[in-house]
Each structure stands twice: as C-alpha cells, then as structure tokens.
Amino acid sequence: MRIAYLEDDLDQSAVVKNWLESAGHVVMHFSSSKDFLKSIGRDSYDLMILDWLLPGVSGIEVMTHVRTTLKTYTPILFVTQKDQEKDVVEALEKGADDFMAKPLRKLELLARVTAVTRRVLGMNEDQLPEASPYEFRGDSTTVVLGDEAIELTHREYDLARFLFSRAGRVVSRAHILQSIWGFTTMDMNTRTVDTHVSRLRKKLKIGQDNGWQLNAIYQHGYRLEKNDDSELHAKA
C-alpha cells in the first residue's frame, strides 16, 4: 500500500518508515503539516498516518482539513502520546478510523494498518476484486467478460486489479506508477500511465454498456466508477 506519514520527530519517523517498508508498503514521510497537505491535495494514498502533536498546525487540525476541505476519505490512523479516553474519542469524532498511543509497537502497528484498510476500503492485496460483469482469474492474466476471455499482459492485469480494487476513488498517476511499476514520477514519464490506461479501457471495453466508467481527472489521475444507471437499465 501507499502510505502518507506525518511525523515531525525524525528519529521516530525513520524507525516507523523502516517497519512499514519492510512489510512491503511504500511510505512518503512528511515532517511538516504544510508539505503533507500540499501532497494530499495533488496525490493519492491508501492510508494516512498522522501524529497529533505537531509544530504549528496540530494533527487534529490537519485531519479536519483533510476531511472537510479537501473532502478526502482515505483511511486515517492517528498516533499520539495522548491516551486518555477523551482524546481517543476526539480523534475518532474528527475523522480518524483508528487510534494508537505511543510508544508504537511494530507488530501492532502493522496489524492495525492491515485491519483499518481492510475494514474501511475492503482492500486485501491478495484478494481479487469483485467487479461484475468482469471476472478476474487468479491463476492467469485473463479477465472474463460475459462469454469472452480477455488476455492481458502482466502489467495490464496488475493495473486492472489496482483500479478495480480502488473503484470510486481518485488515484494519482504517481500512485499508479509506484504501485504498478515501482517507479516515482522522477524515474518514469507519467505518459506511460496514460498509454496503459487507454489500452486497458479498450481491451476491457470499459464503458456504459458494461456498467463502468474510467475517467481522467484533470492534473491528477483517474477514477474508475460503477455506473449505477447502466445497472438499472440492464435490469429493466
């Protein structure tokens, strides 16, 4: 998963970042609220980890801005030295999906990261997406659409799984590049993403006839959405 991590303590953030990366996650660390919010406004993540006590703007204020102004509903794991019941309640009421008190423990943190994304997003990296009328085959790179078996390249298949497992969410080109190619935007031109998305749209015949829309979001990325109107017409 791609994680945005806001923590001003550089020693602690280095340790936690190492824990998460050793578990296979991609972590973007931010030591200031300003840089964090700038990134959230233009990029996408599977999870955010926020510290409460930050210089300038507190983690609670950052979370409130993310939820109310940016209208971003990516899962948030809140971490802090505050551990009284009223603090936990305030964090959850302001938009946190889970809460951990410091000092953090490696195995508990990794378990909570997995649990919160599974609970909130229904995401499991090993689970095949449910995307009727498309059927993903776990033993090949084939996607079945009706009576047609569509052969995809490994890269196209990974991209299809990535997009369908995040249906309804805007995903940035940088997010796609890191998750599918393992590159940052500095390593590879984002036009590569556009080319592969266009090819995938054509191969899978993504459109109203099959109940899905794959839209480009200007200066950001893509959003794959289930077309409910199409489903209603199909049932009529």
Express as a percent the part of the chain with pLDDT over 70. 91
Is residue 127 assigned to a domain? no
* Of the candidates 171, 172, 170, 192, the residue with the CA atom closest to the CA atom of residue 181: 192
Residue 66 near residue 96 (C-beta atoms within 8 A):
no
Q: How far is Cα 121 from Cα 73, in angstroms, rounded to an integer?
A: 10
Going from the C-alpha of 113 to that of each of 64, 152, 193, the distances in angstroms are: 21, 31, 27
Q: Which residues contact 146 (CB under 8 A, 6 or more apart)?
A: 133
Highest average pLDDT, of 6-15, 84-93, 120-129, 133-142, comes from: 6-15
Within 10 A of 6 (CB to CB), how many other CB atoms are there?
A: 26
Closest CA to 100 of 23, 16, 33: 16
Both 110 and 19 in a single domain? Answer: yes
CATH code, 116: 3.40.50.2300
Helices 154-165 & 191-203 angle (0-180, nearest 10)? 90
Average pLDDT over residues 195-218: 94
Question: For residue 219, what are its two tokens?
Answer: 């200066």
Q: Using the 3D structure, point to which of 98, 121, 144 is the last residue of a domain.
A: 121
Does the residue 214 lie in any domain?
Answer: yes
For residue 212, give the CATH number of its domain.
1.10.10.10
Average pLDDT over residues 2-20: 96
- Mean pLDDT is lowest, of 8-12, 107-111, 218-222, for 218-222
**In this predicted model, what pLDDT tens digit does every residue of 160-192 receive, in sequence order?**
999 999 998 889 999 999 889 887 655 566 788
147 and 102 inside one domain: no
Q: What is the pLDDT of residues 41-84, one digit of tens each?
A: 889 999 999 999 898 889 999 999 999 988 888 999 999 888 88
Residue 126 domain-assigned (yes or no): no
Instruction: Indicate the pTM of the whole model.
Output: 0.77
Q: How many alpha carbons lie under 13 Å from residue 33 in its C-beta half-sphere?
A: 17
Residues 74 and 169 in one domain: no
In a domain, 34, yes or no: yes
Residues above pLDDT 90, as percent of the chain: 65
Here the tokens at position 123 are 């995401």
In a domain, 66, yes or no: yes
DSSP character for 128? P
- pLDDT at residue 229 tops 60: no
User: Which domain range does residue 185 map to?
Assistant: 134-235
Provide mean pLDDT across the span 116-131.
75
**Cα separations (Å) of 203 from 143, 145, 197?**
10, 11, 10
Same domain, 71 and 149: no
Average pLDDT over residues 137-149: 91
Mean pLDDT, the chain, whole residue set? 89
**224: helix, coil or strand?**
strand
Instruction: Look at residue 187 in the predicted model and tell me its pLDDT.
Output: 58
Ranges 125-129, 172-176, 200-204: which has the least confidence: 125-129
pLDDT at 99: 93
Query: Within the chain, where are the H helices?
Result: 10-22, 33-42, 59-64, 85-93, 106-121, 154-165, 173-176, 191-203, 228-235
Same domain as 156, residue 97: no
Pair of tokens at residue 40: 């959230």
Tell me: do 39 and 110 sit in the same domain.
yes
Indicate the residue type of 107: L
Final residue of a domain: which of 74, 92, 121?
121
- Of 57, 88, 121, which residue sits at a domain end? 121
Residues 194 and 143 in one domain: yes
Q: How many domains are there within the chain?
A: 2
Q: Is the pLDDT of residue 97 over 90?
A: yes
Can you give the pLDDT at residue 205?
A: 96
Does residue 92 share a domain with residue 9?
A: yes
Look at residue 226 and tell me if it is in a domain. Answer: yes
Q: Indicate whether 129 belongs to any domain.
A: no
